Structure 1
Amino acid sequence: MSKVVVFNRTGSADVLEIIDSAVAAPGAREVQMRVAALGLNRAEVMYRNGQYVIEPQFPARLGYEAAGTVTAVGKDVTDFAVGDKVSVIPSFMFTDYGMYGEVVNVPVHAVVKHPDNLSFDEAAASWMMYITAFGALIEYGQLCAGQHVVIRAASSSVGLAAIQIARMVGAIPIAITRSSEKRAQLLQAGAAQVIASDEQDLVAELNQICGSAGVNIVFDPVGGPDTAKLMQVMANGAHYFQYGALDSRNIEVPVMDILAKHLTLRGYELFEITTDAEKRARAHAFVSAGLASGQLKPVIDKTFTFDKIADAHRYMESNGQIGKIVVTL
């Protein structure tokens, strides 16, 4: 038996329940793990609210990110053994697997041995945010030393991961946040410059920072009207990656900027990388190297115990965090 989190209707964090549930033996190509830590992410909140890309099937499980110790392996699993310390790369749907539990089964393709210098909390916090940023900035954007990358919602876990990855390859990360409240923390986290979009002129500030070189990549989970402003300062052939919709209004696209500068605007999601074996392997290698060297270091904002999972969700929805929210078991 294992304590697991389920919900039987969509809604606020109050719908989350912790119940006792039998855990089946791992099937073929599955690994069973005792969970030590969970990383929280916005997709889980959206799924609980009924606003995600898939509909919950009740009683619904959830959870993409975890780290712990292997307790059993299924048929055809050769790379892992009981006692291995492992963590999970999100590459499955909540309707198939959920990590919110004391003991869980995981598809073997999603399991990795993380660098030894990571704690379970850090390992659980790492893969989703770093691979999300890696996919846009490195796999598709080919970000290089000396280039400018604009990172919106920069105090989020993915935003901080993007800042670190940009620094790792010698690029220049420009953090965009709504107010000046988080400026000092973002500079300390590695941002070369911080712009408060509600207080400063985005176009004027970016033109002053980038000059004639312009912005090479925009990495944006927000959208909304400011998209048009950012496109004004993008370089020829630059890429705009939209990976969320925190602002639900339609994106405004200035057609002459698109045409004259040959800009690329594309939707992007983590699963483009994690469900493709070759891309997932490249992401794993890049992120593992960064974690092992210390160039990538997960920023953990706050930890909660498993029995306070609803409070952890409420804290995420308050939008006050700088970095990752982790739940320990």
Structure 2
Amino acid sequence: MRALLTTAPGGWPNTSISNVESRLGQPNQVLVKVTAVGLNPADNFQIEGRYPGGPKPPFIVGRDACGVVLKGDAGGQWKPGDAVIALQSTTTDLEHGTLCEEQWIAAENLARKPTGWSDLEAAAAPLVYQTAWKALVDVGGLQPGQTVVVTGASGGVGLASVQLARAYGATVVALSRSTEKQNRLRTAGAHHVFSPETDHLKDKIFDAVKAKGVDVVVETVGGPILATSLHLLGVHGRISVVGVLAGVESNISIPALMFKRASIHGVLVTDDVPAKSQAAWTQIVELMTTAEIRPIVDAHFPLEKSSDAFEKLRGNVFGKVVVQVSN
């Protein structure tokens, strides 16, 4: 089968579309013909050798996928022809990713493809929407009627957070430097949109939401923006940190943390056992179906153009970049 294979010593110079011998599956696994794969920054970090605890070459990247069952599991949960998506947030097998023509995936890490979704939409959704849900509801404790700020709102997790928070009944403030993306974020569901470089940003956000502080911040950027996020919180506000695109270090005000009685939480969906991932995914799909929203795909590329897809991912993106492996 064809796969995007990273060989020793790793890095993009040693990553290419290669013919890989198919491996044997286990009784609890399902052989899936992969039709589409949503890319995530973590995939690029793995290839570049910058992912903590990442796989050693040779490996195939990819956590998200949509596909069709070729061979079911021994327990009979999945049958040939079933249309599925991968909920691999819980997997520790990072060597055998999804950016290939077929892959064995644990039966408990599969879910049915949502009705009416295209393969591209389905492949784009699992990891970012599960992360957004955990940041907003599970860790963030969001309640309908509360206020949410999403930093880096045009990325995969950011945009998923905007959509889910709006559908959940929250007032949503999105931050983006791009004027074009600001307009698209309003269309996607944000009630208020600002550039993070806006003068008197805190005052303008507080005026927009009619409150002296927000309840939850989904922090996708990290670095110095984390300090800004803390100052935006109201009393007992929560920050869910899901990304570090602007850097891995930040200086925050300890008195602000104390007097706001605020909390800052790191978010990783790899904490969730498969049953919890399945339960969260069910709630996500139900909410999105009721709100009539779909994952937003910025661009898609064929498998042989995977390097171009990653180049797009590293650049100007609104939503998700997807690799279409097969029809």
Amino acid at match of 1:85: A
**Which of 69, 78, 81 is the equivalent residue of 1:80?**
78
Q: Distance in 2 between matches of 1:21 and 1:11?
A: 18
Pairing 1:325–2:321 present:
yes
Match of 1:152 in 2: 151
TM-score, with structure 2 as normaliser: 0.93
Pairing 1:27–2:23 present:
no
Q: Distance in 1 between matches of 2:146 and 2:237?
A: 10
Counterpart secondary structure, 1:97: coil
Amino acid at match of 2:10: T
Amino acid at match of 2:287: G
Report the alpha carbon displacement of residue 56 of structure 1 after superposing the two structures with TM: 3.0
Q: Describe the superposition over 1:136-156 as per-residue Cα deviations: whole angstroms up to 9, x where unpaired.
A: 111122212221111011001
Report the alpha carbon displacement of residue 102 of structure 1 after superposing the two structures with TM: 0.6
Report the alpha carbon displacement of residue 278 of structure 1 after superposing the two structures with TM: 4.1
Match of 1:136 in 2: 135
Q: Distance in 1 between matches of 2:50 and 2:119?
A: 30
Q: Describe the superposition over 1:288-328 as per-residue Cα deviations: whole angstroms up to 9, x where unpaired.
A: 2134335331001011011100110111111x110111111
Give the superposed CA RMSD: 1.7
Match of 1:255 in 2: 254
Instruction: List alignment gaps of at least 5 residues for structure 1.
Output: none
Q: Distance in 2 between matches of 1:141 and 1:220?
A: 11
Q: Which runs of 4 or more aligned residues in structure 1 lie more than 3 Å from their structure 2 counterparts after TM superposition? A: 93-96, 291-296
The answer to whether the Cα contact below 8 Å between 2:111 and 2:278 also exists between their aligned partners in 1 is: no
Pairing 1:105–2:101 present:
no
Match of 2:53 in 1: 54
Instruction: List alignment gaps of at least 5 residues for structure 2.
Output: none
Match of 1:284 in 2: 281
1:2-17 aligned at under 5 Å gives the runs: 2-8=1-7, 9-12=9-12, 14-17=13-16
Q: Describe the superposition over 1:240-280 as per-residue Cα deviations: whole angstroms up to 9, x where unpaired.
A: 1111111225222211111112101111112123xx24421
Q: Distance in 1 between matches of 2:176 and 2:14?
A: 31
Report the alpha carbon displacement of residue 95 of structure 1 after superposing the two structures with TM: 3.2
Q: Distance in 2 between matches of 1:189 and 1:326?
A: 19
Report the alpha carbon displacement of residue 26 of structure 1 after superposing the two structures with TM: 2.4
Amino acid at match of 1:57: K
TM-score, with structure 1 as normaliser: 0.93
The answer to whether the Cα contact below 8 Å between 2:224 and 2:247 also exists between their aligned partners in 1 is: no
Match of 2:219 in 1: 220
Pairing 1:297–2:297 present:
no
Q: Distance in 2 between matches of 1:249 and 1:27?
A: 38
Q: Distance in 1 between matches of 2:322 and 2:122?
A: 10
Counterpart secondary structure, 2:97: coil
Q: Distance in 1 between matches of 2:239 and 2:202?
A: 16
The answer to whether the Cα contact below 8 Å between 1:64 and 1:94 also exists between their aligned partners in 2 is: no
Q: Distance in 1 between matches of 2:248 and 2:285?
A: 37
Q: Describe the superposition over 1:85-112 as per-residue Cα deviations: whole angstroms up to 9, x where unpaired.
A: 0010122135342101111111112111
The alpha-carbon distance between structure 1 residues 236 and 295, as it changes in their structure 2 partners (threshold 3 A), is: farther
Counterpart secondary structure, 2:289: helix
Q: Distance in 1 between matches of 2:225 and 2:135?
A: 20
Report the alpha carbon displacement of residue 232 of structure 1 after superposing the two structures with TM: 2.0
The answer to whether the Cα contact below 8 Å between 1:62 and 1:94 also exists between their aligned partners in 2 is: no
The alpha-carbon distance between structure 1 residues 183 and 49, as it changes in their structure 2 partners (threshold 3 A), is: same
The answer to whether the Cα contact below 8 Å between 2:218 and 2:239 also exists between their aligned partners in 1 is: yes
Aligned pairs, number: 323
Amino acid at match of 1:260: F
Amino acid at match of 1:321: V
Q: Distance in 2 between matches of 1:95 and 1:115?
A: 25
Q: Among all aligned residue pairs of Structure 1 and Structure 2, give the percentage whose two residues are the same amino acid.
A: 26
The answer to whether the Cα contact below 8 Å between 1:242 and 1:268 also exists between their aligned partners in 2 is: yes
Amino acid at match of 2:296: V
Report the alpha carbon displacement of residue 122 of structure 1 after superposing the two structures with TM: 1.0
Pairing 1:231–2:227 present:
no
Q: Distance in 2 between matches of 1:183 and 1:23?
A: 45
The answer to whether the Cα contact below 8 Å between 1:167 and 1:190 also exists between their aligned partners in 2 is: yes
